[in-house]
Amino acid sequence: VSVVLTGGFVFSLINSILKPILVIFSLPAILLTLGLFMLIVNGIMVYISVGLTPGLSMSFINSIMTGIILSLLNYIISATVLVRSEDVE
């Protein structure tokens, strides 16, 4: 359990510090693919976090798949919160 919590903490740090920099550098690819390259960026964030967390291992392909799942969950949750906030007003 502690390895998973450590991995989550490392992922949140990497996501908040490194992701904005990576998004800026990969902006041309993101624009050319109409945002689909963000799935790869999320996978890279997962791969870096797993690499920095002792006791966790994951291949690059699995990291990309995890990034895709995280992107889809983020989209679904954001859409749900947006719909609920429109209902309140």
- Residue 85: per-residue pLDDT: 59
CA distance 44 to 37: 11
- Residue 89: per-residue pLDDT: 59
Show me where the domains of the chain are located. 2-88
- CA dihedral (62, 66, 68, 72) in degrees, to 10, reads 160
Average pLDDT over residues 59-72: 92
CA distance 77 to 64: 20
pLDDT tens, 14-48?
Answer: 999 999 999 999 999 999 999 999 999 999 999 99
- pTM, rounded to two decimals: 0.81
CA distance 76 to 18: 24
